[in-house]
């Protein structure tokens, strides 16, 4: 598809951590944006935050993303769609309570896209590296798995299929990411094969832990959700304790993930591609050490930390995102400093 350099973009789950940054990047790059929220009250903070953009931003209430036709109104007269809304939980009693909404939310959106495909040129689905990496069920692993966009997490899907309601919660979450992303590709490939093909193409992003400053509505550090809540507890409050140095994780700055959405919108060759969006890898102590360069208020953690002893279950190759999108990823120091500045400005540090 040609580059999409202007017009209106639909962003689902607009009041979420990642989606709010996507709104910001799109608006600052000249796009109009329509965001979906589950209730009108969820839009109030964003209306105030982005007030300077006036009528370039509007909202549509979608109270249940799994309903047939849920996005019909929202998808009308937009040039691109970015699907970011998805359940994030590892504690549901029934795997269907996680997997069902993730898959049906994606297919519901794409069914609405099909009704408006004379105007829509590109669709984005936010996935996760949870859909890429197959973690060992035993919790033990002897070497780092090196993964790229060709890899899929088959193990978690199989585990949930076999165990049902007895399935491990994290595998349920990971399976939901696999199945939701695959559902998107299935719809895309099926419709593309029809006579006349499609007027739009699909892009998916697989991201690891997402960290960085916050611009969506949060009232207290305790209300920080997902990965950034984990970062605050482990780095600022020292909650990781003995887990500071033993196990490493992949991460990306939330602003870089948002930037990737805009870059893939304006880059013709991004269409039909799956991207790993990854900034680096670290153990919690690496973030602590970076934070201690800027403030002594963060607990020192483990002074005897030896990076050579850290183990990383996986590492992701993000060369494709650099080659095609031209993205430049922020450093761990920049991410950490900006996060701390954000927390300090809120009185949380």
Q: Identify the CA nearest to 84 among candidates 213, 181, 172.
A: 181
Domain limits for position 105: 8-211+252-278+315-330
pLDDT at 218 over 90: yes
Residue 308, in any domain of the structure:
no
- Indicate which CATH number applies to the domain containing 203: 3.40.50.720
pLDDT of residue 137: 67
CB 284 within 8 A of CB 301: yes
> Crossing angle of helices 96-115/169-192, nearest 10°?
20
Across 240-249, 253-262, 274-283, least confident range: 240-249
Residue 166, in any domain of the structure:
yes
Q: Identify the CA nearest to 321 among candidates 244, 263, 265, 237.
A: 263
Output the average pLDDT for the chain.
93
pLDDT at 89 over 60: no
pLDDT of residue 199: 86
pLDDT at 92 over 80: no
Residue 187, in any domain of the structure:
yes
pLDDT at 8 over 60: yes
DSSP code, position 144: P
Q: CA 20, CA 13: separation in Å to the nearest integer?
A: 9
pLDDT of residue 246: 85
182-210 average pLDDT score = 91
Q: CA 175, CA 339: separation in Å to the nearest integer?
A: 30
Count of C-beta atoms within a 10 Å radius of residue 282? 23
Residue 236, in any domain of the structure:
no
Residue 240, in any domain of the structure:
no
Tens digits of residue pLDDT in 65-88: 989 899 999 999 999 999 998 766
Residue 77, in any domain of the structure:
yes
pLDDT at 193 over 80: yes
Residue 15, in any domain of the structure:
yes
Residue 71, in any domain of the structure:
yes
Total number of domains in the chain: 1
CB 11 within 8 A of CB 34: yes
């Amino acid at each position: 598809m040609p580059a999409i350099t202007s017009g209106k973009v639909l962003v689902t789950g607009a009041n979420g951590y990642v989606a709010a940054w996507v709104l910001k990047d799109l608006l600052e790059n000249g796009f109009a944006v329509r965001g979906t929220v589950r209730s009108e009250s969820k839009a109030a903070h964003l209306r105030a935050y982005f007030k300077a953009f006036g009528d370039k931003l509007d909202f549509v209430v979608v109270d249940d993303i799994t309903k047939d036709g849920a996005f019909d109104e929202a998808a009308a007269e937009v040039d691109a769609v970015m699907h970011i809304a998805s359940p994030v939980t590892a504690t549901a009693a029934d795997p269907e309570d996680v997997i069902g909404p993730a898959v049906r939310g994606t297919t519901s959106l794409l069914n609405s896209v099909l009704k408006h495909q004379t105007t829509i040129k590109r669709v984005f689905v936010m996935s996760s590296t949870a859909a890429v990496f197959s973690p060992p069920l035993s919790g033990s692993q002897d070497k780092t798995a090196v993964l790229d966009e060709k890899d899929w997490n088959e193990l978690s899907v199989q585990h949930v299929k076999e165990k049902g309601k007895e399935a491990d919660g994290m595998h349920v979450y990971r399976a939901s990411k696999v199945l939701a992303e695959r559902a998107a590709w299935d719809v895309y490939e099926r419709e593309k094969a029809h006579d006349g093909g499609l007027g739009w193409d699909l892009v998916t992003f697989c991201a690891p832990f997402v960290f960085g400053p916050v611009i969506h509505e949060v009232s207290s550090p305790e209300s920080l959700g997902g990965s950034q809540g984990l970062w605050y507890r482990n780095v600022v409050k020292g909650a990781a304790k003995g887990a500071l140095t033993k196990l490493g994780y992949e991460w990306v700055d939330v602003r870089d993930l948002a930037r990737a959405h805009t870059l893939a919108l304006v880059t013709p060759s991004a269409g039909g591609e799956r991207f790993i969006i990854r900034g680096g890898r670290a153990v919690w102590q690496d973030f602590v050490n970076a934070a201690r360069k800027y403030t002594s208020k963060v607990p020192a953690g483990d002074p005897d930390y030896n990076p050579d002893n850290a183990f990383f279950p996986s590492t992701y190759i993000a060369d494709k995102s650099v080659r095609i999108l031209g993205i430049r990823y922020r450093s761990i120091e920049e991410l950490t400093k900006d996060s701390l500045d954000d927390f300090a400005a809120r009185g949380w540090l």
